[in-house]
A and B are shown apart, each in its own frame.
Chain A
């Protein structure tokens, strides 16, 4: 019974109001504008890429938490999505670790003068 009551509670409407949704939309737009400015800012690449990835991550979390209501919904949904996301992130890390800067599939090898950054094992 308790379980059902808890489940029923999760199916209630999220407490967010229309005004709050609009404010979130404005915030997402502002973050996108900052991203656009950053991409033209001429900052050092490492810093720029870090900032862009952080801002992108913030937008991602805002949409998932507030628009997809994961913040207010059943913990089961949160665990499911987090599992899928982490599994995908792990696969991405594995693929990039295996093939990043791997030029072995370039027919005829690298062009004259091009520097290879691949590992010596190739």
Chain B
């Protein structure tokens, strides 16, 4: 904590740190990216002429479990940010590790789901549902994967230090913003693809 307060702050014309500003601009642009993918899914909804159709393949209880895992990863991520901001290195490292593991579990669910759908005869080129489903959830999965790599790099960096400065806390804060954004995108995807009846 003491180390955090003694570090030199960046003074910017906006009054906020440019790295955090950059992350928010990036997330705003990501809204457009996922917005168009979700629109495409909705436009193709119910237009498939051949199966398998969503009702034949979607496993709602299983995906609810993976959704719970991602929600819990958001909780562990916010606790990691809390640890970084309050100079509690142990809490930060533990919660970063928990977030990484929960993210990997979520990806495991997704890999299982994709393979299962493949066995049921659904792939990217089978029908409109397959195309829009795999592109949308696949891109989300890639974002989770990038987030896991981002958090691993932060955890390795934290392992080499004995304390957390304000600078390092900001990197964890930015990583948290990215991770929570991936979570809110899944909140929307889960409702639109899995919960709303076809």
Contacts of B32 in A (CB 8 A): 84, 87-88, 91
- Contact size range, A: 35 or more
* B89 CB-CB contact with A under 8 Å: no
Stretch at the interface among B74-82, B111-119, B136-144, B148-156: B74-82
Cα(A64)–Cα(B28), bound, Å: 12
Contacts of B177 in A (CB 8 A): 68
In the complex, which of the residues A21, A53, A66, A99 contacts B43, with contact meaning CB atoms closer than 8 Å?
A: A99
Nearest A residue (CB) for B78: A67
8 Å CB contacts to B: which residues of A2-56?
A: 3-4, 6-8, 10-11, 13, 16, 18, 21-22, 24-25, 28-29, 32, 35-36, 38-40, 45, 48-49, 52-53, 55-56
Interface size of B by Cβ–Cβ distance < 8 Å? 55
B28 touches A85 (CB 8 A): yes
Contacts of A39 in B (CB 8 A): 60, 194-197
In the complex, which of the residues A6, A28, A83 contacts B71, with contact meaning CB atoms closer than 8 Å?
A: A28
B15 touches A81 (CB 8 A): no
User: Smallest distance from the beta carbon of A2 to chain B beta carbons, Å?
Assistant: 10
A95 touches B60 (CB 8 A): no
Nearest A residue (CB) for B191: A56
Nearest B residue (CB) for A102: B43
Chain A interface SS verdict (over half):
helix
Cα(A104)–Cα(B60), bound, Å: 32
In the complex, which of the residues B9, B39, B47 contacts A103, with contact meaning CB atoms closer than 8 Å?
A: B47
In the complex, which of the residues A32, A84, A99 contacts B67, with contact meaning CB atoms closer than 8 Å?
A: A32
8 Å CB contacts to A: which residues of B173-198?
A: 176-177, 180-181, 183-184, 187-188, 190-191, 194-197
B15 touches A63 (CB 8 A): no
B187 touches A60 (CB 8 A): yes
Known: A21-B78, A45-B197. A91 touches B71 (CB 8 A): no
* B6 CB-CB contact with A under 8 Å: no
A11 touches B16 (CB 8 A): yes
Contacts of A59 in B (CB 8 A): 184, 187
- Give the number of A-B contacts (CB < 8 Å): 149
B35 touches A92 (CB 8 A): yes
Nearest A residue (CB) for B86: A13
Max chain B Cβ within 10 angstroms of own Cβ: one of A4, A45, A59, A68 = A68
* B171 CB-CB contact with A under 8 Å: no
Cα(A103)–Cα(B47), bound, Å: 8
* A111 CB-CB contact with B under 8 Å: yes
Nearest A residue (CB) for B189: A56
Known: A7-B16, A48-B197, A91-B32. A68 touches B68 (CB 8 A): no
User: Smallest distance from the beta carbon of A26 to chain B beta carbons, Å?
Assistant: 9
A64 touches B67 (CB 8 A): no
In the complex, besides A10-B16, A77-B16, A83-B28, 18 extra interface pairs with C-beta distance below 8 angstroms are A8-B15, A10-B15, A13-B85, A21-B78, A21-B79, A25-B72, A29-B71, A29-B72, A35-B195, A63-B187, A67-B75, A67-B78, A76-B14, A76-B16, A80-B25, A81-B31, A88-B31, A111-B49
